[in-house]
Structure formats: structure tokens, C-alpha cells
Amino acid sequence: MLVRHSKDVTPIRTKTPSDKRVLIGPKEGAPNFAMRIIDMPPGTSTYHTHDWEHEVFILSGHGSLVSENGETPLNPDDAVYVAPLERHGFANRGEDVFRFI
């Protein structure tokens, strides 16, 4: 078992640039799961695809889920599912950090 506080995990700066904290993943012995906290500064966005699904929970800030069909607003306590190989991204549309798991 593992218990850790998110602030004890050093953030990794991504190309977005956002800060990513990998709380649980392969290094922690989880071969099929990753739990990450992403902090996106205002005005940043991503758009990509990959072989695995996303389950995302919005913690704070205001952003959008970006898809081939446009954008869907996201707010705290929203949950998102993105299927494998579905082109998608996230965009911070607010004035504060957009934080999600």
C-alpha cells in the first residue's frame, strides 16, 4: 500500500507549460493506472491522442474539454471520460490555475 500527500510529489513541467504530479503510476507499482494532478496556468491548452482512456475530475478553476466537435466548459466537480484514440485536449479559460486529476 501507499499513502502520500500530493505536495510531497515534485511537479514535472510539461511542454504546455503545465505542472504535472504523478501521484500513482508504474514507479509506485501500478502497471495499469496513473493518477496525476495537472495544474494548467491561464491561457494554456493541449490537444492530443493516445491509446488509453482518461477519467478526469476537475478540482478547481475553469476550463474546457477540447474535441473535434468544439469545446465543452468544465468547472469544479465535473467528471470527464475520454475514450482511447479520441482526439482531445484541455484548455484553461479562466484567470486562475485550472487543476484536475
Q: What is the pTM for the complete model shown?
A: 0.92
- Write down the residue that cell numbers 509506485 correspond to: 28
Beta bridge partners of 88: 48, 67
pLDDT tens track for 30-82: 998 899 999 999 999 999 999 989 899 999 999 999 999 999 999 999 999 99
pLDDT at position 21 is 98
- The domains of the chain are located at 10-46, 47-88
Confidence tier at 29 by pLDDT (50, 70, 90): very high
